[in-house]
Structure 1
Amino acid sequence: MAAELRRLRAAAQLTRDDVMDRTGINAATLYRIEKARARPQKRTLMALLDLYGASESQRADLLAVQIGSADQGWLRPYHSELPEEYAAYIGFEAEARTVRNYESLFIPGLAQTEDYAHAVVKGGLPMASQREIEQRVQARMERQALLTRENPLRLWAIVDEAAIRREVGGGKVMRAQARRLLQLMEEPHVTFQVIPFDKGAHAGMPGSFLHMDFPDPADPELVYVGTPAGDLFLESEAEIRRYKLMFEHLQAVAVGPNDTADLLTRLAAASE
């Protein structure tokens, strides 16, 4: 819906301010709708479709999405309590064809064991309640079903060596996490690489990010960057090019999957 509404507005040659002037819909509200961060009310959707001159078939399709989106299959009842940006990310990820994920300090969420995820969330959100921690962990575990569905998500993950060395949850948890990564690397749709400490400075040192593309070529690629000040969804061509180039640099500096597997095997076999 978000992508189609953006296309319709562009075809009508209207800015968000133009839409606000003609419909009274706040520009910030329109931005959130077009970024899939908010579901439009029916009257809001109808006003937009009227303004954009949408065809009857477009109206029917988008109204069906609007009705269905109130009960999205990827949302569990408790997901409404998750931060809005994280819930939006879950939706994008569920529709993606490929996720390219660089992490500087953490094992990627799609590859985390439950014990590791629990330790990460608890340590990273010290003010969170036990309920909030459990909701986060449960959501993370559910997301991993994307890797085992009939048409699995393609995951290419690169991490700094710090991510596999830091003992999140203790040595036992990390050894189990290393075994989990080795398991995943046996799947043809999963690639995992490590950037060793001895590679020195590299393009990923400023922070983690994810790049997603989607099965429908009409859907724009997306970059997601989580920050303490809030999560960002980037989709301009310049931003996409910049992060794709950054990921290519990280692929080049990281050791290959075989050497990565050797490193993880040593970690998994480390003594207590």
Structure 2
Amino acid sequence: MATSPSVAGWELGLRLRERRELLDVTSVSAGKAIGTSQSYISGIENGKLKISAAKLAELAAVLEFDKAEVEELQALREAAGKRAWWSPYSAMFNSEVLRYFGFEAGAESIRAYSAGMITSLLQTRDYAMAIMNGGAPSIRLAEAHRRVEVRMKRQERLEGEDPIRLTTVITESGLRQVVGGREVMVAQLKHLVARIHQLPDTLDVRIVPFSADYHNAIGGSTFYLLGFASSRLPDLVWQETVSTTDLIDQPMRIREYSLAHSQAMDFALDRVGSLGLIEQIGKELE
């Protein structure tokens, strides 16, 4: 399974918090017991702060973990401390976006809904550059290239020994919106067709045609539902709007996004029909 420092740190924090709450130990008491503060314990539990091996051993003793569990916790701590591939790009993105990169890198599956454009993990370099230039004209060319480089790096999860499973719903408008001009768009649609053929076992692309009736995702924003291999980790949602991005971990909200994605899948064409529509629109643009 793919590893990610962010996911390892998240799992470590969840396990510590679950045990602390099970034993009815407050974060204040836990912090005092190992000579730190409540905010430090909260930071560890939220996956936002690192903890030393010695301090983790102390905290594990306070929370009554057995020897085998402590070894697992220390392994998670070591994984969480490793340098991530996105570290060199950290100056370009806020902390929430960087956290998303980490969760995406360690996810087992993604269910995506892309409103009006091609899903980011399936974009060509030219298509992505057209989005960067059009969506944020204040970004310098060099930075735009670096941002596209990050997007291409993220796409590496689609292949390799442990590829992520991607199920993406794209609206027909996303196929017909001529982003970057006809030449760029034709190449993008051909790339989408090629990826569908290259990744038959792990990639499922569904198109919601204009003829489809109303469903809950219509008029909504692009979102990604991330699933993880560990049974200890809940799903997460990443939402993108015109001006904001949001990492969502509230169970009720995640359920709403999951239902919206399922409904969009119900209104989408099947695999063969979706592929046929992509190819048809590509030919119309040529």
Q: Structure 1-normalised TM-score?
A: 0.85
Deviation (angstroms), 1:270 = 2.9
**Secondary structure of 1:149's match?**
coil
Name the counterpart of 2:6: none
Name the counterpart of 1:144: 155
Equivalent position amino acid for 1:9 in 2: R
Structure 1 residues 220-253: Cα deviation after superposition (integer angstroms, max 9, x where no partner)? 1111112456432223332332222111100011
Please say if residues 50 and 81 of structure 2, whose CA atoms lie closer than 8 Å, have aligned partners that are also in contact.
no
Q: In the alignment, which of 40, 53, 62 is matched to residue 50 of structure 2?
A: 40
Equivalent position amino acid for 1:6 in 2: L
For structure 2, the residue ranges without an aligned partner over 5 or more in a row are 1-8, 32-36
How far, CA to CA, are the matches of 2:66 and 2:140 in structure 1? 48
How far, CA to CA, are the matches of 1:60 and 1:180 in structure 2? 45
Name the counterpart of 2:255: 241
How far, CA to CA, are the matches of 1:33 and 1:254 in structure 2? 42
Q: In the alignment, which of 5, 27, 35 is matched to residue 19 of structure 1?
A: 27
Task: Note the 1:225-236 alignment, pairs <5 A.
Answer: 225-228=239-242, 230-236=244-250
Structure 1 residues 74-123: Cα deviation after superposition (integer angstroms, max 9, x where no partner)? 43523454322222111111211110000112211110000001111222
Task: Note the 1:81-160 alignment, pairs <5 A.
Answer: 81-160=92-171
Equivalent position amino acid for 2:140 in 1: S
Which runs of 4 or more aligned residues in structure 1 lie more than 6 Å from their structure 2 counterparts after TM superposition? none
CA change 1:263–1:123 in 2 (3 A) is same
How far, CA to CA, are the matches of 1:265 and 1:55 in structure 2? 57
How far, CA to CA, are the matches of 2:159 and 2:237 in structure 1? 23
Name the counterpart of 1:253: 267
How far, CA to CA, are the matches of 2:92 and 2:61 in structure 1? 33
How far, CA to CA, are the matches of 1:230 and 1:21 in structure 2? 37
**Secondary structure of 2:226's match?**
strand
Residues matched between the structures, number: 269
How far, CA to CA, are the matches of 2:30 and 2:44 in structure 1? 17
Please say if residues 110 and 144 of structure 1, whose CA atoms lie closer than 8 Å, have aligned partners that are also in contact.
yes
Please say if residues 74 and 94 of structure 1, whose CA atoms lie closer than 8 Å, have aligned partners that are also in contact.
no
Structure 1 residues 36-88: Cα deviation after superposition (integer angstroms, max 9, x where no partner)? 4x242538767754654444554454445444434334435234543222221
Equivalent position amino acid for 1:115 in 2: D
How far, CA to CA, are the matches of 1:98 and 1:56 in structure 2? 32
CA change 1:254–1:72 in 2 (3 A) is same
CA change 1:62–1:231 in 2 (3 A) is farther
How far, CA to CA, are the matches of 1:235 and 1:246 in structure 2? 16
How far, CA to CA, are the matches of 1:49 and 1:225 in structure 2? 35
Name the counterpart of 1:6: 14
Deviation (angstroms), 1:153 = 0.9
How far, CA to CA, are the matches of 1:155 and 1:2 in structure 2? 22
CA change 1:34–1:131 in 2 (3 A) is farther
For structure 1, the residue ranges without an aligned partner over 5 or more in a row are none
How far, CA to CA, are the matches of 1:230 and 1:45 in structure 2? 35
Deviation (angstroms), 1:266 = 1.9
CA-atom RMSD in angstroms:
2.9
**Secondary structure of 1:99's match?**
strand
How far, CA to CA, are the matches of 1:225 and 1:251 in structure 2? 18
Aligned residues: percent identity? 27
Please say if residues 116 and 177 of structure 1, whose CA atoms lie closer than 8 Å, have aligned partners that are also in contact.
yes
How far, CA to CA, are the matches of 2:242 and 2:186 in structure 1? 29
